[in-house]
Amino acid sequence: MVKLILVRHAESEWNPIGRYQGLLDPDLSERGKQQAKLLAQELSKEHIDTIYSSPLKRTYATALEIAKVKGLDVIKEDRIIEIDHGVWSGMLVEEVMEKYPEDFRRWLEEPHKVEFPGGESLRSVFNRVKEFLDEVKKKHREKTVVVVSHTVPIRAMYCALLGIDLSKFWSFGCDNASYSVVHMEEHRNVILKLNITCHLGDLYVEAHKAI
């Protein structure tokens, strides 16, 4: 069995204003930096063997806080990077709703059919995160692995772990600086904790429904 702890990065500078980030690279907000420290304190109770992180600033900075309290290094992993939002990158949700209304509707209602213009498809994200998870399961038997990623790859991971269709992508909460715990067993995967945020207290902010 592998104990998998999935972490969404703490709040970035763009999260509060609803701006699509994709592969663009804003840093953590001031609140996000505090959230990352609280998350690290929470996970300090866990025995952790390995920490993987998307290479973007918002994920890597979050992972470094966890690594500091555990005395570990952070391994950068490109396969868990955020989806490439293509032409949506850098746009506010309201702008996308106005300029690309049909694409926006499809993203919320039929995400499994979405390929962002000039960017990536959700299926592509699913394929790369599934490959990564299969590798983790083989490489880290009887270990605890922290994976610090983004909302789209994490939701795609849940679909891969449970063997459910990507059309169920939006069925999982995924707030900033949240963590989830999954036991990757030989013949099944079990989600023990999902989108835990109680460690954030007054610094908790609900995720935008379209990001």
Catalytic site positions: 9, 150
Torsion of CA 167, 23, 202, 44, to 10 degrees: 90
Taking each helix axis as running N to C, give the angle between helix 57-70 and helix 30-43, from 0 to 180 degrees, rounded to the nearest 10.
Answer: 40
Edge-to-edge order in the sheet of strand 50-53: 75-76, 50-53, 144-149, 2-8, 179-184, 189-196
